[in-house]
Amino acid sequence: MLKDIFVTPFVDMATAPDFLMQVLWEGLVSGILYALIALGFVLIFRSSRIFNFAQGIMVVFAALTLVGLHAMGVPAWICVILTLGVMFVLAVTVERVVLRPLVGQPDIILFMATIGITLFLIGFGEIIFGGENKVMITEELGIPTDSVVFEPFGGLLILEQKDITAVVVAALLVVALLAFLNKTRMGRAIRALGDDHQAALSVGISLQQIWVLVWFIAGIIALVTGIAWGARAGVSFALEVIAYKALPVLMLGGLESITGAIIGGLLIGMLEKLFEIYWGQPLLGGNTETWFAFVLALIVLLFRPQGLFGERIIERV
Partner 1 sequence: MRNFRRIATGVALGALLAGGAAAQEISAPNLSYRTGPFAATGIPVMNGQIDYFTMLNERDGGIGGVKINFYECETGYNTEKGVECYEKTKGDAVVTQPWSTGITLQVLPKSNVDEIPILAPGYGFSAMADGSVFKWAFNLPSSYWDAASMILKGIGGEDMSELSGKKIAFLHLDHPFGKEPLPYLEKKAEDIGFELVPIPVGLKEMQNQSAQWLQIRRERPDYVIMWGWGAMNIGALTEAVKTRYPMDQFVGVWWSGHSDDLQVVGADGAGYRSISFNAPVSDAQVMADIQTHVADKGLTESDEEQRSEVFYQRGLVMSAALAEAIAAAQEEFGTGEINAEQLRWGLENIDLTEERIAELGMTGMVAPFSTSCSNHTGHSGGWLLEWDGEQFVKASDHLMADADELAEMEVAAAKEYADANAPWPTQECDG
Sites of contact with partner 1 (CB under 8 A): 19, 22-23, 26, 29-30, 122, 126, 130-133, 135, 147, 158, 160, 229, 232-234, 236-242, 244-245, 273, 276-277, 280-281, 285-287, 289-290
Alpha-carbon span 279 to 299, nearest angstrom = 18
Strands (DSSP E) contained in the chain are 147-150, 157-160
Phi, psi angles (nearest 5°) of residue 102: -105, 10
CA 99-112-210 angle, to 5 degrees, is: 25
Q: Is 289 exposed, middle or buried (0-12, 13-18, 19+ CB in 10 A)?
A: middle
Going by C-alpha positions, the residue among 47, 40, 309, 49 that lies closest to residue 191 is 47
3-state secondary structure of 167: helix
Q: Which is nearer to partner 1, 29 or 190 (CB)?
A: 29
Q: Which is nearer to partner 1, 186 or 283 (CB)?
A: 283
Expressed in angstroms, the distance from the first to the final Cα of the chain is: 51
CB of 83 to partner 1, least distance (A): 20
CB of 259 to partner 1, least distance (A): 24
Q: Which is nearer to partner 1, 84 or 122 (CB)?
A: 122
CB of 15 to partner 1, least distance (A): 12
Q: Which is nearer to partner 1, 179 or 233 (CB)?
A: 233
In the chain, how many H helices and how many E strands? 14, 2
Question: Which residues are CB-neighbours of 302 under 8 A, at least 6 positions away?
Answer: none
Q: Which is nearer to partner 1, 14 or 302 (CB)?
A: 14
CB of 218 to partner 1, least distance (A): 21
Cα–Cα distances in Å, from 195 out to 45, 56, 168, 174? 11, 26, 30, 20
CB of 137 to partner 1, least distance (A): 12
Q: Which is nearer to partner 1, 57 or 98 (CB)?
A: 57
CB of 219 to partner 1, least distance (A): 21
